[in-house]
Amino acid sequence: MKDIMIATGNPNKVREYREMLEPLGYKVHDLSEIEHIEVEETGDTFEANALIKAFSVNRSVNMMTIADDSGLEITCLNNEPGIHSARYLAGHDYAYKNRVLIERVRGAADRSARFVCAIALVEGEKKARTFVGVMEGEIAEEPRGNNGFGYDPIFLVPQYGMTSAQLTPEQKNSISHRGQATRALLAYLNEKNEETA
């Protein structure tokens, strides 16, 4: 069994990583197993912040560690909320944040948006890599769906004609930014295992 620590305080991310990694034989660990570590996301890119999170946690555990920094970029809002997605309109719930974003996009000719996910894999103090996934879509006219989390109810996935909150977990993972970054990570890990076999 290959052990992997998911360095995130977001239980929805943990769930999605479990859905994707456990069927492949990974033993998924999360932060509930270790003492709380305060991490400041001071980077100005998704990749930089993912590395900060993964390095901070890897120092306290004896297994490979991944963290992801992710967010929603809306073209007509200069790619906001972007790396500030979790902190955007802090103190308000996502039902409110999603309504505000729909209002801000109302009337825009270009409703395009994308979810971005950078995964950092850290295997030691100097051993790190990042993997990025992007899912392109549009901001919906109204929030729809109860699956997923965060901005999923307002993110329209063109190939399904549904928001990512209307997709099943399997459908979302098969196309999502996090799913794509995870598959790139897995390809790297498989290649590495073959080399050392």
152 binds ligand ITT (CB under 6 A): yes
The site map against ligand ITT for 30-69 (x = CB under 6 A) is: -----------------------x--------------xx
First to last CA, the chain: 15
From 99-107, 123-131, 143-151, 189-197, span contacting ligand ITT (CB under 6 A): 143-151
Shortest Å, Cβ 196 to ligand ITT:
29
Ramachandran quadrant class, 131 (left: phi over 0; alpha: psi -120 to 50; beta: rest):
beta
* Residue choice 133, 137, 143, 150 for contact with ligand ITT (CB under 6 A): 150
- Helices (DSSP H) in 37-168: which residue ranges? 46-58, 94-105
The CA distance from 172 to 97, in Å, is 21
Q: 72: closest CA among 63, 81, 64?
A: 81
Residue 69 annotated among the catalytic residues of the structure: yes
* Residue choice 151, 157, 167, 181 for contact with ligand ITT (CB under 6 A): 151
Are 43 and 82 contacting, i.e. CB atoms less than 8 angstroms apart?
no
* Residue choice 115, 119, 133, 143 for contact with ligand ITT (CB under 6 A): 115
* Residue choice 149, 169, 183, 184 for contact with ligand ITT (CB under 6 A): 149
Give the residue closest to ligand ITT by C-beta.
Answer: 150
Q: Looking at 30, 69, 93, 152, which residue is catalytic?
A: 69
176 binds ligand ITT (CB under 6 A): yes
85 binds ligand ITT (CB under 6 A): yes
Number of residues binding to ligand ITT, judged by CB under 6 A:
20
178 binds ligand ITT (CB under 6 A): yes
Q: Which is nearer to ligand ITT, 26 or 176 (CB)?
A: 176
**Which two structure tokens, joined as six digits, stand for 74?**
């809306």
Q: Which is nearer to ligand ITT, 103 or 191 (CB)?
A: 103
Contacts 24+ apart (CB under 8 A), 102-111: 102/139, 102/140, 102/141, 102/142, 102/143, 102/154, 104/74, 104/77, 105/74, 105/76, 105/77, 105/139, 108/76, 109/76, 110/75, 110/76, 111/76, 111/138, 111/139
